[in-house]
Structure 1
Amino acid sequence: MSLNLHLLRLFAAVAKTGSFSRAADLLHISQPAISKGVRDFELQVGCRLLDRTPKGVRPTREGAALARHAETLFAAERAAEDELQALRNLDSGSLRIGASTTIATYMIPEYLGIFHRAFPGIDLHVVSANTSDIAALMLGHEIEIALVEGPVEDENLTSTAWRTDVMGLIAGPDHRFAAAPGPIDLRQLNDEILIVREPGSGTREVVAQALAAHRVEPQRTLEIGSTEAIKQAVAAGVGVAMVSMATIDDQVRLGKLKVIPIKGVPIERTLWQLKSPGRLEVPAAVAFEGIIRETKAAKTSRARAARA
């Protein structure tokens, strides 16, 4: 049995929106046409795909399975359309970038500016989420560039190092650590409230690994799903946190946060670019990667010149 892709598209729209009327609006066709198309599709596949309820519709077990495949299929279709458009030239098209929260907020805006000035006709779309969510988007062909904070173990993805990020311990200006005459011992965190990111965050994973390596287990932890919110909580004296040094310049200059040096424990992490092996890269993605490499090389050269 070969699936009718037009009918599959109608069913997928209803499954996604949970409503025949919303699906009709999404696809710009009439609601009766949607209803008839879904009925014909159910007859074709030989089973009920949607349960009709007073509150709308929801996929059956078979419908949910088919909807997942439909999502992958239509994502591949969009990727093909984008690639064909991009192959013509870099004067038009789009580039979808997924980045972990810290990277999206503090690191890639510089690259976005350079790219936009070089290729103003390319529409940029940036998705900010935690590492696990970005990996899922890359697997689903929803993005062309994936930049994340933590390592991802998935046989369907490859990880390539693209930047080193320095982590630092921060405290509020009135915290006892702020008055320390020199670097503190990492074990002093055992008596502190450590503010951490949510599960799935690359930052949280790196911090957890660093503490476990030194057998440090803070007395209490507080989970907050935003680096900005974590910094505000630290500044208010709620606890301490380990964050990327790239995220704190403004607050340190204003005296709202203080970086606390740690004895003999530099904490660095590798930032990763995820790719899907075998997937053709659109020229816009290749150009963006080139900007990342060139910017890194220029910064390295300036740093060496400054040390000379």
Structure 2
Amino acid sequence: MEQHLAQYRIFFEVAKAGSISKAAKLLYISQPAISKSILRLEENLEIALFTRTSKGVSLTPEGQIFYEYLQNAFSAIEAGEIHLAKIKQFNIGKITIGTSNTLCKYILLPYLNKFMKENPHTMVSIFTQSSDKTSLLLSENKIDIGLVAKPAKTQSMSYINIMEIHDIFVATPAYLSSLKHIFDKGFNPLRDGNIMLLDKNNATRRFIDNCIEGSKLHLNQSIETGNMELLIEFAKTGIGIACVIKEFIQKELEEGTLVEIEMPPDLYIPKREIVFLYDEKNFNPSLIKFISMLKK
């Protein structure tokens, strides 16, 4: 197709002008050269595109169909050129970010807000999915940077530490009071309560399961969801005990809406690190700006 692009342009201008002589003036090409180009194109396509008359040329039905296709194609090319010109004029860039819904709300948005104030013409695409999926998209070069809980192995990726998080169990004071009333002195909230967790496909859930495996604790799970926001809301309604991230419910803890449940001696849940993961070999200018902002 590439070798015919010049012929396509000549055909398009002749069809639009309705005259070989007019097209020749517009294209600064001799009339014989245009006629020769049209003839070669018709030979290649094995179909007549023009009907020659004493007044000029007119499109055959097949030529009209071909003209309409080329009109759309050249319009798309022109739009692309205009878009590139705007990118150059306004220094427009693009960055793709992957993260989970929870990390997007509680961590990414403030950074994104700051970045957009400094780079208002940057186009940002956000892919929300599990941390595992984000890491996979990053390894496949389908996103520029990912906000995730730091994986055990970062492979060839670089990362920037953002914050530490702590997974805790919480419930309303009223729910705990009800449990205590039912079980009296033998009351153990993590053993006797309705436990609400993220689903087993979630990286956080697998992390919690691994921690529990090493203890003697047996959880009576009643609710499983893929959304930590729902876990927090479920806990606030007083229907059970939810495993959530402490840093994301500071307001509720301070107000006493939710209370943290003390871990049993044999259950230890270590802190986790939240990081921005990226490939240093990615030289996207917008990514470089974003990383520079993160390191300030």
Give the TM-score of the pair, scaled to structure 1.
Answer: 0.56
CA gap of 1:283–1:216, structure 2 versus 1, over 3 A, is: farther
How big is the shift at 1:158? 3.2
Which residue of 2 is the match for residue 210 of structure 1? 211
How big is the shift at 1:266? 6.2
Which residue of 1 is the match for residue 277 of structure 2? 274
**Counterparts of 1:178 and 1:248, CA distance in 2:** 22
> For this pair of structures, how many residues does the alignment match?
203
Asked if 2 retains the 8 angstrom alpha-carbon contact of 1:161 and 1:270, the reply is no
Q: How does 1:223-234 map to 2 (within 5 A)?
A: 223-234=224-235
**Counterparts of 2:152 and 2:179, CA distance in 1:** 38
Of 263, 287, 294, the match for 1:292: 294
Asked if 2 retains the 8 angstrom alpha-carbon contact of 1:90 and 1:283, the reply is no
Of 223-232 and 211-220, more deviation after overlay is shown by: 211-220
2:125 corresponds to which letter in structure 1? H
User: C-alpha deviations, 1:268-290, integer Å up to 9, x for none?
Assistant: 1122333357x423122122222
Which residue of 2 is the match for residue 300 of structure 1? none
2:110 corresponds to which letter in structure 1? E
User: C-alpha deviations, 1:54-81, integer Å up to 9, x for none?
Assistant: xxxxxxxxxxxxxxxxxxxxxxxxxxxx
> SS where residue 282 of structure 2 aligns?
coil
Which residue of 2 is the match for residue 197 of structure 1? 198
Q: How does 1:1-308 map to 2 (within 5 A)?
A: 91-149=91-149, 151=151, 158=157, 160=159, 162=161, 163-176=163-176, 188-253=189-254, 255-262=256-263, 265=268, 267-276=270-279, 279-294=281-296
Asked if 1 retains the 8 angstrom alpha-carbon contact of 2:102 and 2:229, the reply is no
How big is the shift at 1:97? 0.8
**Counterparts of 2:239 and 2:90, CA distance in 1:** 49
User: C-alpha deviations, 1:34-89, integer Å up to 9, x for none?
Assistant: xxxxxxxxxxxxxxxxxxxxxxxxxxxxxxxxxxxxxxxxxxxxxxxxxx99x979
Which residue of 2 is the match for residue 30 of structure 1? none
Where does the alignment leave 5 or more consecutive residues of structure 2 unmatched? 3-83, 181-187
User: C-alpha deviations, 1:10-48, integer Å up to 9, x for none?
Assistant: xxxxxxxxxxxxxxxxxxxxxxxxxxxxxxxxxxxxxxx
> SS where residue 239 of structure 2 aligns?
coil
**Counterparts of 2:273 and 2:150, CA distance in 1:** 7
Which residue of 2 is the match for residue 9 of structure 1? none
> SS where residue 195 of structure 1 aligns?
strand
1:236 corresponds to which letter in structure 2? T
> SS where residue 114 of structure 1 aligns?
helix
Which residue of 1 is the match for residue 77 of structure 2? none
Asked if 1 retains the 8 angstrom alpha-carbon contact of 2:197 and 2:221, the reply is no
Of 247-256 and 136-145, more deviation after overlay is shown by: 247-256
CA gap of 1:221–1:276, structure 2 versus 1, over 3 A, is: farther
Instruction: State the percentage of identical aligned residues.
Output: 19
Which residue of 2 is the match for residue 48 of structure 1? none
How big is the shift at 1:214? 2.9
User: C-alpha deviations, 1:128-170, integer Å up to 9, x for none?
Assistant: 2111221232133221011112526586x53646132122221
Task: Pick the structure with greater CA Rg.
Answer: 2
> SS where residue 226 of structure 2 aligns?
coil
How big is the shift at 1:253? 5.0
How big is the shift at 1:190? 2.9
**CA RMSD of the aligned region, Å?**
3.4
1:274 corresponds to which letter in structure 2? L
How big is the shift at 1:263? 6.0
**Counterparts of 2:90 and 2:175, CA distance in 1:** 52
2:277 corresponds to which letter in structure 1? L
2:292 corresponds to which letter in structure 1? G
> SS where residue 196 of structure 1 aligns?
strand
**Counterparts of 2:295 and 2:178, CA distance in 1:** 37
> SS where residue 165 of structure 2 aligns?
strand
**Counterparts of 2:90 and 2:102, CA distance in 1:** 28
